[in-house]
Structure 1
Amino acid sequence: MMWGDGMGGGMGWMWLFWLLLIVGTVVLVLVLVLVLVKAFTENPGGTRQGGTAPPPTGGGPRRSREILEERYARGEISTEEFRERLRTLEEGER
């Protein structure tokens, strides 16, 4: 059975097309916003804000001695190795 002149049957589905178009547009805008937020919240070094950055390089002999003492305190190196490396550091300072 035909409804009216036969043209009105397809128009009932037009609301679905518009709904999908609107939802797709909203999703696209949200994805774009998320990508932009992520791009602008990263530091130049590649780490995110609030993340841990790599330790600074350099620092001179004093920092080298601190690192050596920390490793010795954690038990990563033996007393003999600590003394040997400390001697090497002190020779390098002269």
Structure 2
Amino acid sequence: MTTAILPALASMPAHVWGPGHGPVWFFLFPLFWILLIGFFIFFSRRMYWRHRVQGDPMGAEGVLRERYARGEIDETEYRQRLEVLRANRK
């Protein structure tokens, strides 16, 4: 297959490839798509992992975190309630 493509590439006008570039685009175009698909897979898996590890941000633990951050409850109460929540989950 390569032997059929090379003569076709050689017979193309120079303005298709650009002066002095040769068949560089032949390799860059697939590389672009491979990187684009790779980034899509990476970010979709990262978002899935974050959602799975952190859980629902408005779940019981999320509400408890927000109350602790606002100063509505102190650290000991936060830890006690968090322990109860995690014990009930099992």
Could you say whether these structures have the same fold, taking a TM-score greater than 0.5 normalized by the shorter chain as the test? no
TM-score (norm 2): 0.41
Which structure is higher in helix share?
Answer: 2
TM-score (norm 1): 0.40
